[in-house]
Amino acid sequence: MPSNFKVVPFIASIGNNEGSQQAALQLEGLIQTYAQEGWEYVRLERVETYVAGDNGCFGLGATPARTTSCSMAVFRK
């Protein structure tokens, strides 16, 4: 029987006086939420994404192209 996978974005929100422990607690909460639905946490993946620039209106407000990365939590059922 093939496995089903679910991939969801994960972005930790940390205050000025908080550290990596707060990020870990948020990831743990995400894992627990999906575990209650029968999903098994597999790993956290980083995805690089190309974001196209915008020419703006007559060149005003133009923005250059850039790359960005985000974390994706992978689950298996």
Q: How far apart are CA 33 and CA 30, in angstroms?
A: 5
* Residue range 30-53, pLDDT digits in tens: 999 999 999 999 999 999 989 888
pLDDT, the chain, mean: 91
Q: Considering only CA atoms, which of 28, 48, 39 is closest in space to residue 74?
A: 39
Instruction: Say how many C-beta atoms besides its own lie within 10 A of residue 33's C-beta.
Output: 11
Residue 53 has a pLDDT of 85
Does 2 or 76 have the greater pLDDT score? 76
Query: What's the pLDDT score for residue 18?
Result: 86
Q: What per-residue confidence (pLDDT) applies to 74? A: 98
The structure's pTM equals 0.75
- Residue 64 DSSP label: -
